[in-house]
Amino acid sequence: MKIVSRRKILKDNLILGVKRYITINLLFLFLLILARIYEYFYLKSAITLPANSIKLELSGIGLDILMLFNLAAWFALPCLVLFLISKHLFNLIYGFLVILFIFAEIALIQYLGTTSLLLGTDLFGYTFDEVIKIVSASGGFSFASLLLVIVFIALIVSILILSRKIKIGNLVAYLFIVVSFTSLMFQKYTKPDAGEFKSELAYNLTTNKAYHLFSSTYKFYYPDDASEASLYSYFYTGFSSVGRSFEYISSEFPFLHKDNTPDVLGKYFNIGPEKPNLVFIIVESLGRAYSGEGAYLKSFTPFLDSLELKSLYWENVLSTAGRTFEVLPSIFGSMPYGKSGFAEMGADMPDAISLISLLKERGYVSRFFYGGDANFDNMKMFLTRQHVDYLIEGKDFGPEYKKMPPIKTGGFTWGYGEKDIFKKGFEELSNAGIQPRLDIYLTLAMHDPYCIPDQDYYNRKVEERLSANNFDEGQKMEYRKFLPNYASILYFNDALRTFFEDYQKRDDYKNTIFFITGDHRMSTPPIATQIDRFHVPLIIFSPMLRSPTKFSSVVSHLDFTPSVVAFMKNNYGMSFPTVVPWLGQGLDSMKTFRSTVSVPFIRTKNEIIDYIDRDYFIVNNQLFKVSENLGIDQINDEKKLSEIQRKFEKFKTDNLKACLNNSLIPDSLKFRMRR
């Protein structure tokens, strides 16, 4: 009798546990739907949504339902065991998990509203201090957001407590169990297929943000063995590592090749006897979407546009990353990326050569100007290892300089804006000697939270440009959602105008070459296409120029250093290494549109998923045809997709081999200071 009684008690508790588990999951589903409703109305007020956004949200609810049944099947056994051990502990732990998931979903919806991006494994590419800065820049935890969190948590807890009174019938329980375990057959459909969407924002809108973060986190720590192995061992001999016709010379150093970069710049310059000063202005978030002729969001850089008409101007330039962390290694070293970015390897960065170190060996003095903390993204370590002579960062600015206004919630600021950075540059250069210089400016203002000096003035300037473009009131309302963004662009534009007005007063102005480019496009306003995030301009201006010329050929940041070295070698009698590890092949000077580049991209730290190979672009196993103005159209061609993927995998293999084994350059190329 006692055995029968125990079995009956176990059976009754098991049935009770199943019903309780189902009840909480149904309430979980109700909260997911509430989160979707919140998402739609919040994002509608914060950003420009696709025209079919309601349909996308409904599709997202369908995916949420499938996701929930999948999770219910996977967690059923451990949760039932926990229920049999302690009902209170089960309610506490599972209730906490539901709260955590919904809290994460709400927070990530707000992140999407601020950045138009999903948060994934790129989170793990930053240190804790860097994450705090990024969160602070995005607004941190304001009173309103804190109140929202409290309301949601109170709502969830109340629902969980009241749910104990809900009775689940046997039919509902059986049906739920059958559907849950059947759903495992469709697990791969819990995330939307990126290839089905016309824009990245549409994909991001449909995706469950918390599920994306948690699942990508799991894959980050527990990668698929097969795919991980392919990164290290796959070798395809049919292509060079970046699809180029380089003459490689060593299997030990996979990127080392003879340098046969042509000098495409020399014929455009009046060459004098003195070596020119080189000034690089790398502009935070300067994308082609809102700068230059033909910008599809209309240009907000009138002075820069006027400078383009006097310059060598490339309108189709590709950055190598969707954020700033890779811009210095790419522009000045044409370097591979390692796993999370070249500089992110820290002390384990492989030995390398760069324009900075090469010019230092040949008598140049280099300076880096930055208004923030140069430790961010390991910039200082990278520049130090490349032997920069002077590094001037935010802490070196005196009391006469004023930081950008802090964000209202939390008082965070990245540092000093462009006007102060350029002013500090002139202060430092006033004591510069007669040696030729390499000056590098990295700006800050066009970065979330877009708080700039004279904010009201530049807000009015935005309104003036909206009126000048004859936008109707509906269009103006959409632009006003990103008013601080556009205001920061106009602030930079004014700072650049002042910079050139002041530089013209210097004696060395006539012997200086200026390079202006963006590190990537802003993530907001929403990115139009997968390749749009990398689309930036390049302006090469100098009083030494013979005539301005516009180029429509596709080039990348990887091409800058090879072309500058070729220019200096061919026009100033400077000797450089005959073998190099550069990924870039030099700037293409075709005036009409064409794409001859093969460029792998590191979208965010830990995400190398984009690759352009001449007229084709792939991302997430989708194949696109590249057209004029870097437009892309999705096509179905399995043979071509497979061919390009093999090239991409070859790069990934060589990338890790070179970076993890310090096999980028041999000892003969390592820095040797001229004595």
- Percentage of the chain beyond pLDDT 90 is 66
User: What mean pLDDT, rounded, does the chain reach?
Assistant: 89
Q: What is the mean pLDDT of residues 80-85?
A: 87
Say yes or no to pLDDT of 2 above 70: no
Give residue 156's pLDDT.
Answer: 67
Give residue 243's pLDDT.
Answer: 44
Could you tell me the pLDDT band of residue 610, with boundaries at 50, 70 and 90? very high
Could you tell me the pLDDT band of residue 216, with boundaries at 50, 70 and 90? confident
Look up tokens 């919806």; give the residue: 109
Q: What is the mean pLDDT of residues 404-416?
A: 82
Q: Which residues pair with 366 in a beta bridge?
A: 438
DSSP conformational letter for 591:
S
- CA separation for the pair 620, 326 (Å, rounded): 21
- CA separation for the pair 194, 620 (Å, rounded): 7
Say yes or no to pLDDT of 115 above 90: no
**Strand 549-556 with 535-541, pairing:** unpaired
3-state secondary structure 325-389: HHHHHHHHHCCCCCCCCCHHHHHHCCCCCCHHHHHHHCCCEEEEEECCCCCHHHHHHHHHHCCCC
- CA separation for the pair 275, 279 (Å, rounded): 13
Say yes or no to pLDDT of 219 above 70: yes
Q: What is the mean pLDDT of residues 623-640?
A: 94
Give residue 36's pLDDT.
Answer: 95
Give residue 284's pLDDT.
Answer: 97
Say yes or no to pLDDT of 21 above 70: yes
Q: What is the mean pLDDT of residues 248-261?
A: 93
Hey, how many other C-beta atoms are within 10 angstroms of the C-beta on 671?
A: 17
Burial class (CB in 10 A: 0-12, 13-18, 19+), 642: exposed
Nearest to 591 by CA among 316, 386, 349: 316
Most trustworthy range by pLDDT among 108-112, 132-136, 198-202, 283-287: 283-287
Nearest to 330 by CA among 540, 522, 516, 562: 562
Alpha helices in 521-612 (DSSP H): 560-572
Say yes or no to pLDDT of 94 above 80: yes
Hey, how many other C-beta atoms are within 10 angstroms of the C-beta on 19?
A: 18
**DSSP one-letter string for 176-200:** HHHHHHHHGGGGGGSS--GGG-SSH
- CA separation for the pair 304, 59 (Å, rounded): 43
- CA separation for the pair 436, 427 (Å, rounded): 17
Q: Give the orientation angle of helix 473-480 with respect to helix 455-468, to 10 degrees.
A: 150
pLDDT tens digits, residue range 517-545? 999 999 889 888 999 999 999 999 999 99
Look up tokens 């103005």; give the residue: 629
Say yes or no to pLDDT of 649 above 50: yes
- Is-contact 290 476, C-beta < 8 A? no
- CA separation for the pair 537, 292 (Å, rounded): 8
- CA separation for the pair 632, 615 (Å, rounded): 9
3-state secondary structure at position 69: helix
**Which distant-in-sequence residues (6+ apart) come within 8 Å of 506 by Cβ?**
429
Phi-psi region of 282 (alpha: psi -120 to 50; beta: other; left: phi over 0): beta
3-state secondary structure at position 82: helix
Look up tokens 């070798």; give the residue: 235
Q: What is the mean pLDDT of residues 228-252?
A: 54
Quote the pTM value.
0.87
- CA separation for the pair 238, 650 (Å, rounded): 10
Q: Phi, psi (5° rounding) for residue 602?
A: -115, 95
Give residue 152's pLDDT.
Answer: 66
Look up tokens 């596709």; give the residue: 554
Give residue 569's pLDDT.
Answer: 96
Give residue 128's pLDDT.
Answer: 64
Give residue 621's pLDDT.
Answer: 83
Q: What is the mean pLDDT of residues 550-571?
A: 97
Residue ranges of domains in the chain, CATH in brackets: 2-221 (no CATH), 257-660 (3.40.720.10)
Q: What is the mean pLDDT of residues 200-212?
A: 92
Distance of CA 100 to the CA centre of its chain: 26
Q: Which residues pair with 518 in a beta bridge?
A: 283
Give residue 107's pLDDT.
Answer: 87
Do you find a cis peptide bond into 525, omega within 30 degrees of 0?
Answer: yes
Burial class (CB in 10 A: 0-12, 13-18, 19+), 470: exposed
Q: In whole angstroms, how far apart are CA 658 and each of 61, 62, 300, 607?
A: 44, 44, 41, 18
For the record, the structure tokens of 556 come out as 């990348």
Hey, how many other C-beta atoms are within 10 angstroms of the C-beta on 636?
A: 9
pLDDT tens digits, residue range 275-311? 999 999 999 999 999 999 999 999 999 999 999 999 9
Nearest to 129 by CA among 498, 382, 378, 473: 378
Q: How many CA atoms lie within 13 A of 156 on its CB side?
A: 27
Nearest to 66 by CA among 183, 205, 173: 183
- Is-contact 144 410, C-beta < 8 A? no
- Is-contact 557 330, C-beta < 8 A? yes
- Is-contact 72 176, C-beta < 8 A? yes
pLDDT tens digits, residue range 580-598? 999 999 999 999 999 999 9
- Is-contact 598 334, C-beta < 8 A? no
- Is-contact 658 253, C-beta < 8 A? yes
- Is-contact 369 392, C-beta < 8 A? yes
Give residue 674's pLDDT.
Answer: 46
- Percentage of the chain beyond pLDDT 70 is 89
Say yes or no to pLDDT of 42 above 80: yes
Nearest to 395 by CA among 419, 377, 369: 369
Q: Is 18 or 60 the better-scoring residue by pLDDT?
A: 60
pLDDT tens digits, residue range 143-194? 566 666 677 667 666 766 665 666 777 788 889 889 999 999 998 888 888 7
Q: Phi, psi (5° rounding) for residue 207?
A: -65, 140
Task: Using the Cα atoms of residue 236, residue 238, residue 244 and residue 248 in order, give the sign of their dihedral.
Answer: positive
Q: What is the mean pLDDT of residues 6-23?
A: 80
Could you tell me the pLDDT band of residue 110, with boundaries at 50, 70 and 90? confident
Give residue 139's pLDDT.
Answer: 57
